[in-house]
């Protein structure tokens, strides 16, 4: 891969010049801020949209996984937006780092939502299980031995499926190797901690978006997370997987536009599917 042109672990960039609500978009593991390119111009016309580049990006710093405190880096991104972002949109692992940060701050006696100026959240394709006993050895095996498949999915979606399968697989394994065992461990530690999150403290309106065919973070987990949050609702977008902001950019942006217009009047979450049903998608 080419050298990272920006050696800073964390940076933010203003993407639209609206004078209304400030929004910050946070990318997931082994992606970068280009994951939002098809969505940015479809978000509310008056929004001031920012995107972050985080250490776990595709071309990020190579040893980020050896740093256990991912929350500190994400906090720097939140603090870097002038005036603070009122709406934070976080995809995949970034959604989990964000939840972990809010949880830690809350346990320390700080109101994290007030501290960071967050008035609403959009969590995209998050990983979430509500009970510790929902993790077993099969779960570890799936996310460890098939981890490269998630990387391949990102490559497939970004390339619109134009790459031959063997090249796509080789690239997926290369990205997996770049993430490395330490990076994988940081991801799975976040996942394992989700049953302990004090979700009742996250009281701002929250939209949880999932892809119907997501085999990395199945939609049942988004429904379960929405059920655990006091002011959340979930939407499962048909015909797309782990990257709905690319695969269904207009529908994805439409959901966010509607949520921003009427955050308090959104329909409640759908009933969460049981974990056994979720596992059948894998």
Q: What residues does each domain of the chain span?
A: 11-279
Rounded-to-integer distance, Cα 99 and Cα 53, Å: 18
Query: What pLDDT does residue 98 have?
Result: 98
Q: Where are the beta strands (DSSP E) in 74-131?
A: 87-91, 120-124
Query: Residue 277 above 50 pLDDT?
Result: no
Query: Residue 281 above 80 pLDDT?
Result: no
Rounded-to-integer distance, Cα 257 and Cα 253, Å: 6
As beta bridge partners, residue 12 has: 52
Query: What pLDDT does residue 61 have?
Result: 66
- Residue 276's contacts (CB-CB under 8 Å, 6 or more residues apart) are none
Rounded-to-integer distance, Cα 185 and Cα 172, Å: 18
Q: Do the Cβ atoms of 127 and 190 come closer than 8 Å?
A: yes
Name the percent of the chain lying above pLDDT 70.
Answer: 91
- Provide the pLDDT confidence category of residue 275 given band limits of 50, 70 and 90: very low
> The whole model's pTM is what?
0.91
Q: Which CATH number is correct for 11-279, 3.40.20.10, 3.30.300.30, 3.40.50.300, 3.40.50.1820?
A: 3.40.50.1820
């Amino acid at each position: 891969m080419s050298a990272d042109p920006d050696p800073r672990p964390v940076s933010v960039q203003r993407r639209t010049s609206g004078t209304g609500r400030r929004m910050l978009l946070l990318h997931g593991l082994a992606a970068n801020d280009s994951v939002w390119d098809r969505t940015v111009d479809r978000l509310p016309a008056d929004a001031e949209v920012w995107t972050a580049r985080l250490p776990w990006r595709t071309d990020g710093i190579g040893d980020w996984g050896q740093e256990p405190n991912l929350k500190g880096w994400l906090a720097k991104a939140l603090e870097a937006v002038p005036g603070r972002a009122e709406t934070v949109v976080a995809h995949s692992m970034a959604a989990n780092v964000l939840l972990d940060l809010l949880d830690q701050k809350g346990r320390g006696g700080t109101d994290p939502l007030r501290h960071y100026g967050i008035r609403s959240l959009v969590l995209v394709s998050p990983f979430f299980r509500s009970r510790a006993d929902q993790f077993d050895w099969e779960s570890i095996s799936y996310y460890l031995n098939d981890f490269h498949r998630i990387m391949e999915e990102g490559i497939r979606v970004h390339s619109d499926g134009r790459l031959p399968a063997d090249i796509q697989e080789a690239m997926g394994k290369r990205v997996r190797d770049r993430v490395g065992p330490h990076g994988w461990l940081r991801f799975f530690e976040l996942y394992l901690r989700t049953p302990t999150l004090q979700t009742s403290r996250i009281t701002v309106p929250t939209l949880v978006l999932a892809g119907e065919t997501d085999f990395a973070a199945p939609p049942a987990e988004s429904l379960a997370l929405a059920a655990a949050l006091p002011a959340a609702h979930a939407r499962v977008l048909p015909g797309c997987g782990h990257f709905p902001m690319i695969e269904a950019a207009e529908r994805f942006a439409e959901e966010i536009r509607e949520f921003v217009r009427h955050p308090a009047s959104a329909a409640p979450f759908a009933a969460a599917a049981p974990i056994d049903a979720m596992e059948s998608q894998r």
